[in-house]
């Protein structure tokens, strides 16, 4: 007999199969969590001064917008850690919004599109792993 905890009885977790994440997906989610948390904190203060070196009239609001969108990405990555499908959709939406902010702020579409690299790698990481494939385990 397999003993269950009170929380398993209440939430029904004991009835669900155990989910296993691939090493690649785990490493990527940790990286995205750290990188987006850093961007959320640093973008409002550093992004504008860095971008003004190449785009003199880069607007102040863009740093705050990218910071807020990075904070939204942190929430989405945390949702993916909890196997929530909305996390990937939210992450992709935030990445598209960052692209739009960068283009509106004067960065060209080419350099702004570099931000989609993380999204593409995340989508790929969700598709690989054989029995540990992340996409099929999302709820």
pLDDT in the model for residue 10: 58
Nearest to 70 by CA among 90, 40, 107, 27: 40
Give the list of residues 6+ apart from residue 98 with CB closer than 8 angstroms, or none: 66, 69, 70, 112, 115
Tell me what pLDDT residue 84 has. 97
Q: How many CB atoms lie within 10 A of CB 61?
A: 13
Handedness of CA 24, 27, 30, 34 (dihedral sign): negative
User: What is the Cα–Cα distance from 58 to 54, expressed in whole angstroms?
Assistant: 9
Q: What is the pLDDT of residue 52?
A: 86
pLDDT of residue 15: 66
Q: How many beta carbons lie within 10 A of that of residue 41, not counting itself?
A: 13
Block means of pLDDT (10 residues each) for the chain, length 139 residues? 53 71 94 97 89 88 96 98 97 97 93 92 92 90
Asked if 100 contacts 128 with a C-beta cutoff of 8 angstroms, the reply is no
pLDDT number for residue 48: 83
Dist CA 40 CA 24 (whole Å): 24
């Amino acid at each position: 007999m397999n003993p269950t905890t009170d929380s398993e009885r209440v939430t029904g977790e004991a009835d669900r199969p155990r989910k296993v994440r691939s090493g690649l997906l785990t490493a990527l989610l940790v990286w995205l969590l750290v990188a987006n948390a850093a961007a959320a904190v640093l973008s409002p203060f550093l992004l504008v001064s860095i971008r003004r070196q190449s785009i003199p009239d880069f607007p102040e609001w863009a740093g705050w917008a990218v910071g807020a969108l990075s904070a939204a990405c942190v929430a989405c990555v945390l949702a993916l850690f909890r196997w929530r499908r909305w996390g990937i959709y939210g992450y992709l939406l935030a990445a598209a919004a960052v692209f739009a902010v960068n283009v509106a702020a004067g960065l060209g579409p080419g350099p702004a599109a570099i931000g989609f690299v993380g999204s593409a790698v995340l989508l790929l990481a969700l598709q690989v792993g054989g029995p540990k494939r992340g996409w099929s385990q999302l709820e």
